[in-house]
Structure 1
Amino acid sequence: MAAQTNLNITTDRSALLALKAHSNQNMIFTNWSTTTPVCNWVGVICGARHHRVVELNVSYFGLAGTIPPELGNLSFLVDLDIQNNSFQGTLPHELARLHRLKFINLGYNKFMGVIPSWFGSLSKLQGFRLFGNQFSGSIPAIIFNLSALQEIDLSYNQLSGRIPREIRNLTTLKAIYLDNNNFKEIPSEIGTLNQLEKLFVQENALKQPIPMSVFNMSSLTIVSFYGNKLSGRIPDNICQHLPNIQVLNLGVNQFEGPLPSKLWQCKQLLTLGLRDNRFSGSIPKEIGNLTRIKLISLVINSLTGIHNLNCIYLIIIIFITCS
């Protein structure tokens, strides 16, 4: 049994030394040596039961290089975090062997190519963060077979096409971040995600109206489609179906028509961003009943009736936060 334990530790050590060999010789690797127990290495945490590496966190260490295939031998790894470094190239398919992995954060590196479809085999994955890289192409539909997924962050890449309709399979999803890509369509199937709390699809190429199903998601607390080419009207009863909404940002789009007359029913609303659209008509004076509001942005529209608002709301209309 002891021999087997030593073999496991040796396997993990070899995998981590391969990462060291593929990276610039940063000072964090000073104690990554055969003379120091693996579980005492900087950025490494081992599990008490099996004495295997369960967490690798080398984020914000200024590392550069590539990810070696040997990293796929960390078979007990649960959490992999290498964000805010300068790793580059493509991801080795051997990482598909990390079947215990629950959290992966590769944010703000220089990875490129398509998102590998083998991510779809990591069935225990809960947090999937690839933001701030150079991934291109479409999202592989197989990613949406990850039934345990709670957060997906693919923002600040070069992804395009449509958001796959298979997203409806992610029934435990709580947060979606797809900002600064080139997506063109919001699938109505997003509206079936009854645990979703945060939805960010800012600075993309979205067109046409937002599917009505999105405005019926009672679990949502934050919605931002800022900086697209979305059009159409905002439902008058939006607050009735979004009772928990705290941040609603639809600024810099092509929405038109009057403002919803019942916006005051969004009792939890903290931020309302509708700037730079084509809204017309008067500003409902009942908007002053939003007692929790901190910021309202309505500039660059064709609205009238500002004189109906009290002085506090005159101030926040021009971006100064309400105290």
Structure 2
Amino acid sequence: MGVEYILLSNNNLTGSLPPFLFNSHNLVVLSLSRNNFHGELPSNIGNATTLSVLGLVDNNFSGKLPASIVNIYALTLLCLSNNKFSGNTLPDFRSNEHLQLIDLSSYEFSGEIPTNFSHHTRILALGKNNFSGNLSRNLIHLGKLEYLDIHDNKITGELPNFICQISTLHTLNLRNNPLHGSIPNCISNLTNIQILDLSNNYLVGEIPAKFGNLVVMETTINFSYLNLSYSVASIHLNVDLIIKKNNIDDVTIIWKKSKQDLSLDRLKIYYLLDLSIVKL
């Protein structure tokens, strides 16, 4: 029986990842966040088909994501933010039906906003990249999406009406993009929204009167935002725990010049509407 869990986060480890690490048929969790690893990810990363959690946050990895990464069919959490990955295309994750949390923020990715993710995706963090162009209508196919963060990119065009069809959204963060035009009236269809951040864009016109229909922002509700449990061998790992281990704080609130990072596992207590620095 081989090693199932490798938890080496919060150290000062260096070097590149050895390819033999991904030849394991037993590895379930690989957490190497907040170290000083560098170089490209091994091309054989897809050999680790039993890997459920891959956390490489806050390192110096570079290059493109290996195409074989989509062969990790058991992958549930992919947390790779704050590295130096680049490229204008991403691997096609649509066949990764277990993959629910994808954090590819703070890279140097470019091109159009990718939508080649599984319809089981619940959390998609793509902030602080160089993505450009209009939002793709294919986002509506992510039928379980609760958290969409594309802040600090170069997304252009108007805020499209089809965004209102993603009724499962609890958090929508499009801050710091050159979006223009008006806020669509149908935004009131997002009845589950708790955090809506459209600040630092070029929006014009009036605030839709139907904003008053966003009742979740008005009332306190009790829902488990990240109650995603999955079975690993004979035990259950909770996504909340992995998020805490990887320190995912991808919602940054700037309120009266004060910046505050909100952890995903505590989003259930926050209700926020930010339209600041827009030309309403």
Tell me if TM exceeds 0.5.
Answer: yes
Q: Deviations over 1:41-97 (max 9, x none)?
A: xxxxxxxxxxxxxxxxxxxxxxxxxxxxxxxxxx52111111111100112222133
TM-score, normalized by length of structure 2?
0.77
Q: Is the 8 A contact 1:144 1:166 kept in 2?
A: yes
Q: Greater RCO between the two (CA within 8 Å, min separation 6)?
A: 2
Q: How does 1:143-182 map to 2 (within 5 A)?
A: 143-182=69-108
| Alpha-carbon distance in 2 for matches of 1:252, 1:187 | 18
User: What is the Cα-based RMSD across aligned positions, in Å?
Assistant: 1.4
Runs of 4+ in structure 1 off by over 4 angstroms are none
Q: Is the 8 A contact 2:202 2:279 kept in 1?
A: yes
The one-letter code matched in structure 2 to 1:198 is: I
Equivalent in the alignment of 1:189 = 116
Determine if the alignment matches structure 1 residue 291 to structure 2 residue 207: no
The one-letter code matched in structure 2 to 1:301 is: V
Q: Is the 8 A contact 2:119 2:141 kept in 1?
A: no
TM-score, normalized by length of structure 1?
0.67
Q: Is the 8 A contact 1:224 1:250 kept in 2?
A: yes
Q: Is the 8 A contact 2:140 2:162 kept in 1?
A: no
SS of the residue 2:34 aligns to: coil
Match of 1:201 among 126, 138, 153: 126
For structure 1, which runs of at least 5 residues remain unmatched after alignment? 1-74, 304-323
Equivalent in the alignment of 1:87 = 13
For structure 2, which runs of at least 5 residues remain unmatched after alignment? 218-270
| Alpha-carbon distance in 1 for matches of 2:162, 2:114 | 21
Q: Is the 8 A contact 1:223 1:247 kept in 2?
A: yes
Match of 1:129 among 55, 58, 79: 55
Equivalent in the alignment of 1:103 = 29
Offset of residue 234 of structure 1: 2.0
Give aligned-pair identity as a percent. Answer: 30
| Alpha-carbon distance in 2 for matches of 1:199, 1:285 | 29
Offset of residue 237 of structure 1: 4.1
Q: Is the 8 A contact 1:120 1:144 kept in 2?
A: yes
Match of 1:268 among 192, 210, 231: 192
Q: How does 1:63-74 map to 2 (within 5 A)?
A: none
Equivalent in the alignment of 2:40 = 114
Q: Is the 8 A contact 2:120 2:144 kept in 1?
A: yes
Q: Deviations over 1:152-194 (max 9, x none)?
A: 111000010034242223222101101110001333323xx11
Equivalent in the alignment of 1:282 = 206
Q: Cα distance 1:204–1:237, how it changes in 2: closer, same or farther (>3 A)?
A: closer
The structure with more radius of gyration? 1
Which structure's residues are more often helix, by fraction? 1
